[in-house]
Structure 1
Amino acid sequence: MIAKEEKEKQKKQGMLDNVMRQFNHASDIIGLNQNVRKILGITNNELVVHFPVKMDNGEVEVFTGYRVQHNNALGPYKGGLRYHPTVDIDAARALAMWMTWKTSLAGLPLGGAKGGIQIDPSRYSASELERITRRFTFALGDNIGPELDIPAPDVNTNAQTMAWILDTYMSTKSPNERSSNLHVVTGKPVGAGGSEGRDRATGYGVYLCIKFWADHNGISLENRKFIVQGFGNVGYWASRFLEEEGAVLIAVQDASGTVYNDRGISVEKLRAHAGEHDNMVQGFGDAEPIDSELFFGLDCDICIPAALGNQITGNNASGIKALVIAEGANGPTDVEGERILLEKGVAVIPDILCNSGGVIGSYFEWLQNRNGEIWQLDEVMAKLEKKLKESFDRVMRVASERNVDMRTAAFIIAIERLEQAYRQRGIFP
């Protein structure tokens, strides 16, 4: 148990170390202004809240929640809330920084934040999770807001979670303020002000980036084999769109284990199975269970890590056979792992580009709420594809011009946009 906790601690510290090394590497290449570098190298605000919640049995538990706001030079803080045992201040810092680079790269008028609750949600009933969520929202108070900091779903949170946050936040406002606070969160149910297409935006973006990469390299996705780590919202939608393109899913890994079938796994059949088994893939009848340690070494063309951070490391990167890694999760590849992959000729589509469909979709929802508009699904998806294509082409152009990998190119674009904002605005006072 102690060894496991120490391993998780090292992973979280590693995530923060990774994002700082990525930031410093790109900053060195562009000669980032030292004053701006000092600002971007640290978070703006860090909130830790401890709050009591009454459980179904009448007992009280005290929970710890986090919200880290990294930077808002380009607009309000934006980023998800996750419910997971690994959530702590270091993890939130790393993820908040990645959100800043992600929104900047996408050209959005938003900054970066992240947070969540240190909790295993599977241990609690739906009514307990509702009370935990509402009490956490109340504890955050005015540290979130539609023009200040806009949370969204992340690991183990969903549209229902956002609806609870919205209702709780609006309940703290006067009647004449409530109608103007609908955009305090994104990723809401459509009936509660959410946007069509937000549920699939991240996974669709992962698929689009893979397709853009394949087109750029003259590769057809027909019959290409792919593996997915994490079969939640991101993993499912990315798999579904890839399957529609003719690619073949051969393995899926989640917290319950790994299932494998070299002849192919039906995305919809696996989803139906997971829906009946606590969202877990273990026990799927049309695939065989294999040792999870073998997952990343499977013979495939496309690998999509769409679970947690630091999954591809210096310990397992050398065994990867995929042509491309499409980072559906935030920070799934550490610096040493990526060095090995690049030396092997494996392409890495970086997280701040590959999974940015989610925050772009969130921006569209925020904009609709703010302007009192409702966009149709085809309009949302077309706008999302256009935005992602612009980002992808920009990354490829900078990568070619500077002779750097895709991640470094993405960081350069993101950092230079922030540097320009600080140069033009100046530093108060």
Structure 2
Amino acid sequence: MSVESSIAATESNKKLYEGVCERFEQMASYVNLDGKVHAILSQPKAELMIHFPVKMDDGNYRLFKGYRIQHNNLLGPYKGGMRFSPEVSLDEVKGLAMLMTLKCALAKLPLGGAKGGIKYNPNDHSPEENQRITRRFTVALGHNIGPSYDIPAPDMGTNAQNMDWMMDTYHNLYGRKIEDKAVVTGKSVACGGSVGRASATGYGAVYCLEEWAKGENLPMKGTTFAIQGFGNVGSHAALKLEELGAALVAVNDHTATLICPGGISAKELASHVRQHGGIKGFMPECEVDDLSRFWSQEVEFMVLAAMENVVTQLNADLIRAGLLVEGANGPITTEAEAVLLDKGIPIIPDILANMGGVIVSYFEWVQNRNSEYWSAETVDAKLREKLIAAYRQVVAVAQEQAISLRQAAYVESLKHLEEVYLKRGVWP
């Protein structure tokens, strides 16, 4: 990563954390959050920063930096993804950990909020090096993770294979119990993962989108949509929307931007991305160099499924979508959100729209703890039920109090956490 890119990433991560804290403070004031609850939630319970050496394929050793932020475990064990990226920073994972606490509270899950990662690019390393890095990080975390204490999951730069390695390492060094499978979620199905986990975040965003469309009396068939980011979340959202009869007309990722009013096959594009690592080259005749053309596409829905802070004051005024759905965490800055709401563009916020992943992670954890295996139909039905219940409650609060969906989601999360704290008390 260049010096310029590193500085930009640091500023973006700082912006994410500041944005999460700003929204938290605003809504804590709005609901008149109890003082002690406010103080507790304003900072993580624990911040771990770990430096650990790993032997490279050439025989030399490299020192890696890893993080694990444990924000809150009032409702249950800490829960949150592990992000492997050169842009990982303390501010980034602190902001994401707080979002996880709010997300789990909104979903009424018996889980808390956490986040972590390693500051490196896994694409620059061999499978053998990535395995050693993952396992060595797990060893360094030690008893700071566990099936009843802190349960990691995949995130940017990680996948089921990383979770399989983490689970196996933990089992051999710290556990050796049948419930050790529950130390992480997002594992491969063969190693105890749940069917439906990989698609859960993308599908969950679409289930929220469907409910919004019903409220607007807008049939899904024949609508158009754009996807920003075509990784795991974006691709599954696009596939589900395509099944519902909507047409993908614009897509952007780190490799290219495609605009095709005649429609883009989400199924064929997903196959291309699996083979080539990005959308570039799929439809060369539809590739455009001007990113502003993507943001200004007139579509019914735009799903933001890449990284944080992609919609800023610089491009918010260009957006002409009828609805924005935050499939990623923190993709819209607070300043950009004000512009969008002034334009009358509704936003389904991240702590609601992308909670599908943690919901199915919870299902996986339950299955592992009880030595059960649920069918795909059971998982999807339970996911849809939980998401729709959360969405409808947020909409009810938003309408009753004449506030945005994000504000209503924060109200629901904070009031639930406050209620539990006040009933349990703060020990000692």
TM-score bucket (shorter structure): over 0.9
Other-structure match for 1:129: 130
In 2, are the aligned partners of 1:265 and 1:286 still within 8 Å (CA)? no
Aligned residues: 426
**Which residue does the alignment assign to 1:284?**
282
In structure 1, what is the Cα distance between the partners aligned to 2:110 and 2:153?
A: 16
1: CA distance between counterparts of 2:134 and 2:210? Answer: 37
CA contact (8 A) 2:50 2:65 kept: yes
Question: CA offset at residue 373 of structure 1?
Answer: 1.1
Query: For 1:23-42, what aligned pairs fall within 5 Å after superposition?
Result: 23-42=24-43
Aligned-pair CA distance for 1:4: 2.9
| 1:323 counterpart letter in structure 2 | G
Is 1:257 the counterpart of 2:256? The answer is: yes
C-alpha distance 420-339 of structure 1, shift in aligned 2 (>3 A)? same
TM-aligned CA deviation for residue 27 of structure 1: 1.1
Structure 2 unaligned regions, length at least 5: none
Amino acid at match of 1:280: G
DSSP-derived class of the 2:225 partner: strand
For 1:119 and 1:299, locate their aligned partners in 2 and report how far apart those are by CA, in whole Å: 37
Letter in 1 for 2:118: I
Deviation at 1:292, TM superposition (A): 5.3
Q: Aligned to 1:104, what secondary structure does the other structure show? A: helix
Matched letter for residue 206 of structure 1: A
Could you tell me how far 1:293 is from its partner in structure 2?
2.5
* 1:323-382 deviations in Å (ceiling 9; x for gaps): 111000000011011111111010100000000000000000000111111111001000
Q: CA deviation at 1:281?
A: 0.8
Aligned to 2:205: 206
The letter for the 2-side match of 1:21 is E
Which residue in 2 is equivalent to 1:399?
398
Whichever residue aligns with residue 235 of structure 2, its letter is: Y
Question: For 1:276 and 1:245, how far apart are their aligned partners in 2?
Answer: 26
**CA displacement, residues 285-330 of structure 1 (integer Å, 9 cap, x when unaligned):** 3652212532222222211111110111111111100011100000
| Matches of 1:64 and 1:4, distance apart in 2 | 18
Which residue of the partner structure matches residue 332 of structure 2? 333
- Distance in 2 of aligned mates of 1:206 and 1:254: 18
Q: Secondary structure at the match of 1:264?
A: strand
The TM-score normalised by the length of structure 2 is 0.98
Equivalent in the alignment of 1:419: 418
2:20 counterpart residue number: 19
The structural deviation recorded for 1:5 is: 2.5
Deviation track 1:361-412 (CA, whole Å, cap 9, x = no partner) reads 0000000111111111001000000000100000000001111000000000
**SS at the partner of 1:134?**
helix
CA contact (8 A) 2:6 2:87 kept: no
Deviations 1:1-58 (Å, cap 9, x if unpaired)? 4433322221111101111111111111111111110110000000011111111121
Residue identity in the other structure for 1:309: E
Judging changes above 3 Å, is the alpha-carbon distance between structure 1 residues 287 and 251 closer, same or farther for their aligned structure 2 residues? farther
Counterpart CA distance in 2 for 1:138 and 1:403 is: 49
Percent of residue pairs identical: 45
Deviation at 1:268, TM superposition (A): 1.4
Q: 1:249 to 1:191 in 2, by over 3 A?
A: same
Question: What SS does the aligned partner of 1:122 have?
Answer: helix
For 1:231 and 1:197, the matched residues in 2 are separated by 18
* Contact kept in structure 1, 2:10 and 2:89, CA below 8 Å: no
Where 1:261 maps in the other structure, the secondary structure is strand
Per-residue deviation at 1:173?
2.8
Secondary structure class of the residue paired with 1:172: helix
